[in-house]
Amino acid sequence: MAAASQTIKQQIWEGCLPLQINLSKSECRVFDKADPYFISFPRLSYLPFLLPRLLDFFKPYLIGSDPVYPYQGWFSFEGLPLKWHYPVGLLYDLYASTEPAPEQGDDKDIRYPCRETLPWKLTLHFQDWPDQELVGLDEQGRVMHDFFMNSVKEADFVRNGTGKSIMTLSREDSNKLWTSIQERSEKPSIKVVQSQFPPIISTALAGAEKQIQTIGTALHSVVPSLFPDVKDTSMATPILHGAAVPMSAPLEEMARCAAYADGWLNIVVWMHG
């Protein structure tokens, strides 16, 4: 089991998403628009990390003579501003995942998202920051850093009932965690975030024997209208890191081996139909 969990962690950490990034037509000096920028980008990473290289790439095509800085950049998908503090893999699962393919093999409770929407086509802007939807970035990157670390602390509090384990991190470990997200250095992030879990606890229902909380039992409890049974995926499918999740998967074990880099287990519910 430990070996399987480690394999899952490694595969999630190495997961990438092909992106096609186009400069907004309203900001491009070329009539037939600039060439797009293609990249295979880590699912666990964040779009603002791309801004310096994207500005270098698109700078010759930008309209106007005023100075432009990386932190002024923002992304949209089909006109919708994308929240920069969400991992890019989560953003894709939220906004671009298409209808899951028909059930296959023996895994009757699993549906698989298809890949017709890849590469994911995003639009890059350097003007008209959407203040109502997005918090502004800063030149030093402190806003982004603080958002991430606060998210890590919140996840720790949800898991343990206290954020003490993250709050007491040394400056060195805190810096390693942030650096690992930017450079995809696996060990610091996994060690610092994934190790902050308490022992596995079984949840007991009143008058019932203790039972392990699964993805199915959690979804049935939270959204019974979409998941009328702990194994029923006829109306909706849970998706995590671009893959459909078995309803029988233990929730705590999934949190241990499949959380995002900030410690959150972000499950997207894809509605059929």
- Can you tell me the distance from the alpha carbon of 84 to that of 145, in angstroms, rounded to the nearest whole number? 12
118 and 178 fall within a common domain: no
List pLDDT tens digits, range 99-152. Answer: 554 444 444 444 445 556 799 999 999 999 999 999 999 999 999 999 999 999
> In which domain, by residue range, is 147 found?
143-194
Provide the β-strand partners of residue 250: 214
What pLDDT sits at residue 151? 93
Query: Which of 5-19, 91-105, 194-208 is modeled with the greatest confidence?
Result: 5-19
104 and 37 fall within a common domain: yes
What pLDDT sits at residue 104? 46
Which of 29-38, 71-80, 99-108, 166-175 comes out lowest in average pLDDT? 99-108
Q: What is the mean pLDDT of the chain?
A: 85
What pLDDT sits at residue 144? 96
**pLDDT class of 200 with cuts at 50, 70, 90:** very low
20 and 123 fall within a common domain: yes
207 and 250 fall within a common domain: yes
Could you check whether the bond before residue 87 is cis, i.e. omega within 30 degrees of 0?
no
List pLDDT tens digits, range 48-83. Answer: 999 999 999 999 999 988 999 999 999 999 999 999
Query: What separation in angstroms does the CA of 160 have from each of 5, 195, 259?
Result: 21, 12, 15
In sign, the C-alpha dihedral spanning 200, 206, 207, 208 is: negative
CATH code where residue 264 lies:
3.10.20.90
What pLDDT sits at residue 18? 97
CATH code where residue 156 lies:
1.10.246.190
72 and 20 fall within a common domain: yes
Total count of domains within the chain: 3
What pLDDT sits at residue 269? 95
- Can you tell me the distance from the alpha carbon of 200 to that of 250, in angstroms, rounded to the nearest whole number? 10
Q: Which residue has the higher pLDDT, 8 or 110?
A: 8
- Can you tell me the distance from the alpha carbon of 240 to that of 259, in angstroms, rounded to the nearest whole number? 9
Residue ending a domain, among 99, 124, 139, is 139
List pLDDT tens digits, range 179-198. Answer: 888 876 555 455 555 555 55
18 and 127 fall within a common domain: yes
Residue ending a domain, among 176, 194, 212, is 194
- Can you tell me the distance from the alpha carbon of 230 to that of 212, in angstroms, rounded to the nearest whole number? 12
133 and 64 fall within a common domain: yes
Asked if residue 98 lies in contact with residue 116, where contact means CB atoms within 8 angstroms, the answer is yes
